Amino acid sequence: GDSVTQMEGPVTLSEEAFLTINCTYTATGYPSLFWYVQYPGEGLQLLLKATKADDKGSNKGFEATYRKETTSFHLEKGSVQVSDSAVYFCALSDLSNDKLIFGTGTRLQVFP
Amino acid sequence: IAGITQAPTSQILAAGRRMTLRCTQDMRHNAMYWYRQDLGLGLRLIHYSNTAGTTGKGEVPDGYSVSRANTDDFPLTLASAVPSQTSVYFCASSDSAEQGLDTQYFGPGTRLTVL
């Protein structure tokens, strides 16, 4: 079945460092891809999404490009802030049943 | 606008007891979902509802039941709680029944401990 694999965390960075969180997927067809973020003590919220190959989703300085050839949707940010500390979830839409399938999440810790 | 509210925020429950987690949304979304979040496993779908009056099973439905009597409310019931149901439970909603394509909005979660 469809699945999402994320890099294990925690990812620990200093403020203003470059961030990459890897996400790869396995799916039949061409699912939509998402990044959700969970700040401490809160529920998940959508960060960005891409619905077809080569689409780039972007929001709050974060970007991710839908790469069909490498089945990847890596999350990047050029300069992280302490306020970006959170857990980031990669997800895809399972086209067989329209359900979201989540990765296990990657915790990001940014220190001043 | 509250969005999605969940109650209680946290609960400690003895094994074998019945428990209902409440979820209410004020966005008039058609679809609602219940997930559980466990360390190392991410979020897993328990049950969902595409519209009021209908429900469906997700990835891990055993031991849980839901109802959708109206658009706003989607309670999750554990008929006889077991320790493996210790988890953080999130309710979510989306505007469309095309769940995979539409943004899902999440509640703040309920932390449940079953002893």
Q: Which of B44, B98, B106 sits opposite A98 (nearest CB)?
A: B98
Mean predicted lDDT score pLDDT of chain B: 92
pLDDT at A91 over 70: yes
In this prediction, residue B101 has a pLDDT band, given cuts at 50, 70 and 90, of: low
Rounded Cα distance between A47 and A49, Å, is 7
pLDDT at A15: 97
Preceding peptide of A112 cis, ω within 30°: no
Tokens standing for A51? 């619905």
Q: Do B109 and A43 touch (CB under 8 A)?
A: yes
Question: Bigger pLDDT: A42 or B23?
Answer: B23
Provide the percentage of residues in chain A whose pLDDT is more than 70.
96
Q: A1 to chain B nearest CA, in Å?
A: 12
For residue A17, pLDDT over 70 is answered with yes
Tell me the average pLDDT across A16-28. Answer: 95
* Best-predicted range by mean pLDDT (A12-21, A30-39, A45-54, B92-101): A12-21
Q: What is the pLDDT of residue B98?
A: 57
DSSP strands (E only) in A9-55 = 11-14, 19-21, 23-26, 33-38, 44-50
Tell me which chain A residues have a C-beta less than 8 angstroms from the C-beta of B29.
Answer: none
What is the full DSSP assignment across chain B?
Answer: ---EEEE-SEEEE-TT--EEEEEEESS--SEEEEEEEETTTEEEEEEEESSTT--EE-SS-TTEEE--SSSSB--EEESS--GGG-EEEEEEEESSS-TTTSPPEE---EEEEE-
Q: Does residue A64 have a pLDDT over 70?
A: yes
A99 and B90 within 8 Å at the Cβ level: the answer is no
CB nearest to A100's CB, from B4, B99, B108 = B99
Name chain A contacts of B30, Cβ cutoff 8 Å: none
Q: In chain B, which residues have their Cβ closer than 8 Å to the Cβ of A43?
A: 4, 90, 92, 106-109
Cα separation, A76 vs A107, in Å, equals 14
Q: Is the pLDDT of residue A5 over 80?
A: yes
Q: What is the pLDDT of residues B35-74, one digit of tens each?
A: 999 988 889 999 999 899 999 999 999 999 999 999 999 9
Of A93, A94, A105, which has the smallest distance from its Cβ to B42's Cβ? Answer: A105
What confidence score (pLDDT) does residue B25 get? 96
